[in-house]
Structure 1
Amino acid sequence: MSSLSLSSYSKPYLSVTEQLELLRGRGMLITDTRKAEACLHRIGYYRLSGYAYPFRQRELRRNPDGSETEHIHEHFRPHTEFSTIMELYVFDKKLRLLFLDAIERIEVGLRVEVALTLGTYGAFSYRDANTYNRYFSAPDSDGATPHARFIEKLDDAFRRSREEFAEHFRSKYSSDLPIWMSIELWDFGTLSTVLNGMKSADLDRLSSLYRLPKRRFLSSWAQSINFVRNVCAHHERLWNRPLVQQPSPSKPGELELLEHLATDSLAQRRIYAVAAVLQYMLRFVHPGSTWKERLRSHLKTIPDSPHISLRHMGFPSDWEKLALWRASTFDESE
């Protein structure tokens, strides 16, 4: 878009009192002014506006070609209460903590398995581009390779780390960290990058640990989980967020417990898809996990409103009845 077609931002600064008056003027019901002011001071108007968005009035407008476009008004739907917006904000905050709990277990488990896999080539083989597939050594438009960027990131993390094991190693050795130490400095983004760079045989081995029939599932899922992890870590809105990176869905006959995703495009695009992937992987990483029960309990606390629902999160109407969310362990026949 040309800068000539863009307009200048002209909305004025508003104090918290003025922000509340703006919300009232747009039809939001605010019964406890003092509490609402405290919430805006603590959270911020702009952050909270993302949770108020589903409550804004909508209308369909017909275009000249006969199609229809949904127009979002600034005014809120009738009976929209500030307290409901805050309930949704708190619901989302607790949802992020639940997702981070599951992601942590899977991240730690994957670290162990990646270290064991790459370690078979030698303690420092992870620094050798030949350990990975040829695409990991292909230069980009800047002339750098994914492997070179990966090593640069690791070396920087090691230099800056204040972890006790890293400081002890720097004081005693002149060499690089062996894989089983280095991997403790990897974040989930680094893990997903390396999974994309691993040789097919190595990725097949890792995939088999989770009974995945194709290696594409693991690398794709890792990217999606990393996206959600970053959303949670930066305290961003999660509950109805579209997935920038969607986990690869299974085709009929490939992965029975996740087959329902193949025919549900909304579920694929929303956080339900990552919730399903997390639940699937937890059955191997931590078979005794109560995560699905805690998630189920939390989802029942979503604010009671006709304008928001679990479907906005991608959850199928019968999700609790699906085998993925019912069975606690895998049968040998699966």
Structure 2
Amino acid sequence: MFEKKPTTVDQQLALLKHRGLHIESEIDAVHYLSHISYYRLGEYWHSMQADKETHTFKPESKFSDVIALYCFDRELRLLLFDTIEKLEISLRTKMIYHLSHEFDPWWFQNFEIFSDSLALVKTLTSLEDEISRSKDSIIKNHFKKYKDDGRFPPAWKTLEQTSFGALSKLYGNLKNTIGSKDLIAKEFGAVNHTYLPSWLQSIAQIRNLCAHHARLWNRNLPGTVKLLTKPPMPWIEDVPKQHEFQKLYIHLCLMKYLLNIVAPGNRMTEKIVHLFEKYPNVDPNALGMKEFWQNEALWK
């Protein structure tokens, strides 16, 4: 039975000191513990502990290094959220454009072009929830003007309300015979429909972590991705092994690969390098970064 009781900030500080964490400034430590929960910060000092049972810290462990890791992770999430926004808008644009032209503006309701009907029902249910909650004047005016039309608003209105996750599921669920599925993949440098679904699923998972302020640093990511053997655009020579795909690096590479198409001249490399320079105590290996990664053709 769980019997732990809540502790005060002063008790938390005393406990950390007792376990061997060096507190340079108690005033600063109290401030941070008052605004960032002990449990959340614990995800960043966990790797500093010599004994995970007694929670005693390794020699030279400092509270300031915990805060540096926390701040690094926060800024990394903001950087990636900005990157994913560009990819999401591009994917949404391409799906609306190509599939509306190949079929009609209500293609996303067409069960004949999707492989998994049950998955589509779940996606449409989620879409319906989003539409019903929407305060967007475009949606409200559409239903007011076309109140006798029982369908969703057309793709260019409806899909502007949906999440990246729903978009990735719609794309992945399209039958492989659908021309737009290959066309969209080709425009993203993924050659055909075989590879892009796993890339989008990976990015959607990372987007959700960013949106919920979850830790990215030193996290093992679920799922895997399929990689092209010879991508048409600049890529990396030092490709991680399959067991390394749980680390963030390969997923960063895929984001960069897509971003180079969506936003040529982007500064993603510069921003990540700056982040590591700003927080020199952060070990790049915790993200699975390869040595001299910034010298790869992809990142130049």
**TM-score normalized by the length of structure 2:** 0.92
Does residue 1:288 correspond to 2:265, yes or no? Answer: yes
Specify the SS of the correspondent of 2:56: strand
Q: Tell me the equivalent position of 1:63.
A: none
Contact 2:81 2:210 in 1 (8 A): yes
Aligned-partner Cα distance in 2 for 1:258–1:245: 21
Deviation string, structure 1 residues 42-70 (Cα, Å, up to 9, x no partner): 01100000010111115xxxxxxxxxxxx
Instruction: Determine the structure 1 residue equivalent to 2:49.
Output: 56
Matches within 5 A, 1:187-266: 187-200=163-176, 201-251=179-229, 253=230, 257-258=235-236, 260-263=238-241, 265-266=243-244
Q: What is the root-mean-square deviation in Å for CA atoms of aligned residues?
A: 1.7
Matched pairs, number: 293
Higher relative contact order (CA 8 A, sep 6+): 2
Structure 1 unmatched ranges of 5 or more: 1-7, 59-70, 138-144, 327-334
Tell me the CA shift for residue 265 of structure 1. 3.5
User: In structure 1, how many angstroms separate the alpha carbons of the residues matched to 2:43 and 2:226?
Assistant: 28
CA drift of 1:320 comes to 1.1
CA distance, structure 1, for counterparts of residue 174 and residue 193 of structure 2: 10
Residue number in structure 2 paired with 1:323 = 297
Question: Which amino acid in 2 is paired with 1:300?
Answer: E
Q: CA deviation at 1:237?
A: 0.7
2:189–2:258 contact (8 Å) kept in structure 1 = no
Which segments of 5 or more consecutive residues in structure 2 lack a partner in the other structure?
Answer: none
- For residue 152 of structure 1, what is the aligned residue in structure 2? 125
* Identity, % of aligned positions: 29
Q: Pick one of 145, 148, 164 that aligns with 2:137.
A: 164
* Corresponding position of 1:78: 59
* Segments ≥4 residues shifted beyond 4 Å: none
Kept after mapping to 2: 8 A contact 1:56/1:75: yes
Distance 1:110 1:12 in 2: 48
C-alpha distance after superposition, 1:55-93 (max 9, x if no partner): 1115xxxxxxxxxxxx66510111111111011111111
Distance in 1 of aligned mates of 2:112 and 2:48: 54
Label 1:73 to 1:215 Cα distance change in 2 as closer, same or farther (>3 A).
Answer: farther
Aligned equivalents of 1:207, 1:43: Cα separation in 2: 41
Q: 1:225, CA displacement in angstroms?
A: 0.3
**Which residue in the other structure is 1:45 paired with?**
38
1:210 CA drift (Å): 1.9
| TM-score for the superposition, normalised by structure 1 | 0.83
AA of the residue aligned to 1:98: L
Distance in 2 separating the partners of 1:15 and 1:75: 20
- In 2, the alpha carbon distance for the partners of 1:214 and 1:171 equals 40
- Once the 2 structures are TM-superposed, how far is the Cα of residue 283 of structure 1 from its aligned partner? 0.9
Mapped pair 1:136 → 2:113 = no
Within the candidate set 265, 272, 280, 2:249 is matched to: 272
State whether structure 2 residue 30 is matched by structure 1 residue 30.
no
